Structures are given as structure tokens and as C-alpha cells.
Amino acid sequence: MFSLYEPHNEWVSKGKSNKKVALGHAVCITTNQHHFCMHWQVMEKQHDVDMPLIIRDFIQSKHGKYRIESWSFDRNFGSPENREGLAEQVDCLVMPKKGRISKKEQKQQEEAEFKKYRKKHSTIEANINQLECLGAGKCRDKTIEGFKRYVGLSVLAYNLHRLGKIRRRY
């Protein structure tokens, strides 16, 4: 237990070189090519490696059997099972591997298409920053249900903000 007031908190290691950690819960966000949030989930006692196949099943159940052109993940999501499970539905899977990469994987990562989608991954960080600005950055409710509500409302605000930007252009 890390907090008397919030016993549901977890130790979240961000995997950065400066070894920063936080108390709270990790949140998994999936956005589409238009930067609308399609799926979000507060990860309670779950790890990043568990999420890609769960997200794939959710998206297929809600949005049909569309072929996905590209899908980009952070390094923490990579595992052989996830790569195999997603390779069937995704044309270009950007899922970096932890540790050393083989010559075959290095050759794949040097392809122009892979590099193009890898560079687009930085927009995900901007989406996360905008979610934090729209309410997910600080939760004043001390319960896990309240935290999920804050995240859900910030995703709703984020999607409405994106829709307003698109609407204003026309």
C-alpha cells in the first residue's frame, strides 16, 4: 500500500532513462488517424504487454473487421505474442522491441514505410498532453471510480475539442 487515502494506487514506472516513477494508475489511450480517441482504459493491476490484444478485440467488436493500415505502440507493449496477434490485421505494425534487435528486425525498421509511421508516433505524445490539459492530469476525486470518471470526461472533452477544430475549419 502506497497511500492511506488512496489504497488503490499503484507504483507506475515510466521506463525513462532518469528512472522517474509515479503513484497512480496507467491509462491506455487509442486514437485513430483523425486523432479521435477510440478506446481508453484505466489499467488496474495490468501491464502494458497485456493491452494490445485487448484493444484489438475491442476495436474489432465495435468497429467491424476493417483492415488497419498502421498501428504504433510504445516499447513497453512489445512481445512476440502481440506482434503475431496483430500482424494479421495490420499492414505496418510499429512495435519496438526491448533490448537488442536482430538483423531481420533492423532491416524491417530501416524500410521507408516503417520510418514514416515511426515518426508519426510523436503525435501520440501531443494527444496525451492535450488529454492532461483537458482534465486527466489532475484528479481531485480520491476513489478509483472517480479517477475513471475523470479520465472518461477528459476523453469526451478531448473528442469534442477535436470535433470543434474540424468544424471550425469548414
**Can you tell me whether residue 95 is helix, strand or coil?**
coil
Give the integer Cα–Cα distance in Å for 13 and 22.
Answer: 7
Whether the pLDDT of residue 18 is over 70: the answer is no
**Can you tell me whether residue 105 is helix, strand or coil?**
helix
Give the integer Cα–Cα distance in Å for 55 and 126.
Answer: 21
Q: Which of 33, 120, 49, 46 is nearest to 81 (CA)?
A: 49
Whether the pLDDT of residue 93 is over 80: the answer is yes
Residue 115 pLDDT: 82
Q: Cα 132 vs. chain centroid, distance in angstroms?
A: 14
Half-sphere exposure of 96 (CA within 13 A, CB side): 13
Strands 90-94 and 68-72: parallel
> Per mean pLDDT, which range of 33-37, 103-107, 118-122 is the poorest?
118-122
Q: Which of 135, 140, 128 is nearest to 28 (CA)?
A: 128
Give the integer Cα–Cα distance in Å for 170 and 168.
Answer: 5
* Cβ proximity of 42 and 151 under 8 Å: yes
Give 10's strand partners. 24
In the predicted model, what is the mean pLDDT of the chain? 79
Of the pLDDT bands very low, low, confident and very high (cuts 50, 70, 90), residue 53 is confident
How many helices (H) and strands (E) the chain has is answered by 6, 6
